[in-house]
Structure 1
Amino acid sequence: MWIIVLFFAIGILLGRLLRAHSSLIRLADQLAMVSILFLLFVLGLSVGLNQEALAHFGTLGLQAAILTSGAIIGSVAAVQLLSLSTRRKR
């Protein structure tokens, strides 16, 4: 757990030190998006390879699908709102 907090703190520190370089900001944004897409791909691959998960996929129920959809929609909305607020400050 501490390694995650440490990497996050180092990222914040480097971000503060290098924020004057707009090309680095764009690169960091692009790398973050590629990393998130890669993690989602690997997660999907892991679920797809798990025979037990696939066998029970139909029994997960409507509630699980609604909760998952709500989490995804909420996350996307939060990112969009934060993105808009940070663009206004620049």
Structure 2
Amino acid sequence: MFRILLLLFAGACAGYFGRRSAFVRRTASGMQITVCALLFVFGASLGSDKGLIADFGRFGGHALLIAVLGVAGSLLAAAAARRFFWGKGGRP
């Protein structure tokens, strides 16, 4: 796990210091394609796990509840931050 966080931090630093480079600007579309491919492969590996699919009914409801509450909390936090930083109008 530490290795993953270290690579993430190194990539963020490389992007920050090389942000004016044409190479870094050209990698944006490739990055989007890569993330989509990774999500597809992750979904395919989850879908092929028979144990996970068999137990989906048992913990699927809990996962849905956690996801809905997470989204609701994010929306409330965004609304509070908007009101706190930009007042009632919502514009800076």
Same fold (TM over 0.5): yes
Aligned counterpart, 2:65: 66
Aligned counterpart, 1:33: 32
Deviation at 1:53, TM superposition (A): 0.9
Aligned counterpart, 1:13: 13
RMSD: 3.0
Matched residue type, 1:19: R
Measure the CA separation in 2 of the matches of 1:64 and 1:23.
40
Partner deviation per Cα, 1:29-87 (whole Å, 9 max, x = no partner): 3233223222221221112111111111122242321323555785xxx8xxxxxxxxx
Measure the CA separation in 1 of the matches of 2:69 and 2:26.
29
TM-score for both structures, normalised by structure 1: 0.56
Q: Does 1:56 align with 2:55?
A: yes
Instruction: Name the SS for the 1:14 alignment partner.
Output: helix
Instruction: Report sequence identity in percent.
Output: 27
With over 3 angstroms needed to count, the CA separation of the structure-2 counterparts of 1:61 and 1:20, relative to structure 1, is closer
Of Structure 1 and Structure 2, the greater helix share is in: 1
Instruction: Check conservation: 2:15, 2:24, Cα contact below 8 A.
Output: no
Q: Does 1:4 align with 2:21?
A: no
Structure 2 unaligned regions, length at least 5: 79-92
Task: Select the structure of larger CA radius of gyration.
Answer: 2
With over 3 angstroms needed to count, the CA separation of the structure-2 counterparts of 1:35 and 1:2, relative to structure 1, is same
Moved over 6 A (4+): none
